Every structure is written in C-alpha cells, then in structure tokens.
Structure 1
Amino acid sequence: SLDSDSKTNLIVNYLPQTMSQEEIRSLFASIGDVESCKLIRDKVTGQSLGYGFVNYLRADDADKAINTLNGLRLQNKTIKV
C-alpha cells in the first residue's frame, strides 16, 4: 500500500529553467498548504535541472495540484506533475 507520504509528495518535471524555487512554491501554494518545495539544481553550475519536488500537507491538495497544474504551460514548457 502507499504510505501517506507518497500521496502528498509530487515530482514536477519540465519546469522552465528560469523559474526559482520560490516561484514554484508560490504556484503550488495557490492550490493548498505546501510543506516543502525543492528545486533540483546542478551542483556545479547552480543551474536549474528543470525538475523538483513539492510536498503538500494534505493528500487531497496533492490530488488537486495534479488535476489543476499537470499540463500547465509556463513560458515555453508544459509542466508534468
């Protein structure tokens, strides 16, 4: 069975490289309470690798984020949640 953590933790792919961790957090926080948000960056250059993780406090907010934000176009990218 899925543990409760995996129901609230989302991986977000195809993020625009110019988007900051704060911008990603505020986008996902428009759906519900975000516990944590991590943008994955290249260790050497600090450049965004175009994906990250968003963890919600509630599983129903995570579901809503998938339904609302998956396929959203941001700049020249279509994000996958």
Structure 2
Amino acid sequence: MVKIFIGGFPLQTDELTIVQLFAPFGDVSTIKIVRDRATGICKGYAFVEMLELAAAQNAAEALNGTEMGDRELKVNLVEEKPVAPVYKRVVRNNNFAPEKAKRPRRRI
C-alpha cells in the first residue's frame, strides 16, 4: 500500500468527499482525516492509502495544485521511513552482591 498526504482542503470536507476525489485513479484502502483531539475540528490535512503505486502516483500528479472550494490542494506521496533496529538493553542486577557490614554509630 502507498500512503498519500493531502493537505489544504476546506475544513468542512468529509471522508466520503476525499474518497470520491481519489476513486477515479484506483482503489482507496484507508483514509484518515487528522482532527484536533480536544475539539474534533479538522486540521485541514489527511492521509489516504491506495493499493497500487502507479495509481497513487497518477492521483498525486493530477490532484496536486488543483482547487477545492477556495483552497489549493497539496498532494504528495509519503516516503516510508525505515524502521530503526531495536536494541535490547542489558540490565545488570546487583542484588546478588554481598551486603556491606554496617558500622555501628558511635555515641558520645
């Protein structure tokens, strides 16, 4: 699957409208409109996943710079970041060390 960034669309746009925008180019797998956590208001950008790379490239080329309402769309393919290797941290357990003998306090 290929992830596509789409930004600059009107804030009232819903998922169905974006899917209809990308559907002529190929099958849309998922869509995620990014919203503010507290208010639920759209932030003006979304991510769409398409099944085929060629369809995603065609959609990005055709839709980038087009106008939707009174705004200009920005459509780009998202480059997948390589996954960083996971290193295991070695934890040393010092519980097996013999306890030091405590010296009694001196009273004066």
TM-score, normalised with respect to structure 1:
0.87
* Corresponding residue pairs, total: 75
Higher RCO structure (Cα 8 Å, ≥6 apart): 1
- Find the partner of 2:54 among 47, 60, 64: 60
Which deviations, in whole Å up to 9, do the C-alpha atoms of 1:18-69 show, x marking residues without a partner?
1001211111112110011111011111111000001100000000001110
Query: What's the secondary structure of 1:30's corresponding residue?
Result: helix
Identity of aligned residues (%): 33
Does 2:10 correspond to 1:16?
Answer: yes
Query: Which residue of 2 is the match for residue 41 of structure 1?
Result: 35
Question: Any stretches of 5+ residues in structure 2 without a counterpart?
Answer: 76-108
**Structure 1 stretches of at least 4 aligned residues deviating more than 3 Å after TM superposition:** none
* Aligned AA (2:6): V
CA distance in 1, matches of 2:8, 2:35: 13
Across the aligned residues of Structure 1 and Structure 2, the Cα RMSD in angstroms comes to 1.0
Query: Which residue of 2 is the match for residue 76 of structure 1?
Result: 70
Question: Any stretches of 5+ residues in structure 1 without a counterpart?
Answer: none
CA distance in 2, matches of 1:44, 1:29: 31
TM-score, normalised with respect to structure 2:
0.66
Query: Which residue of 1 is the match for residue 92 of structure 2?
Result: none
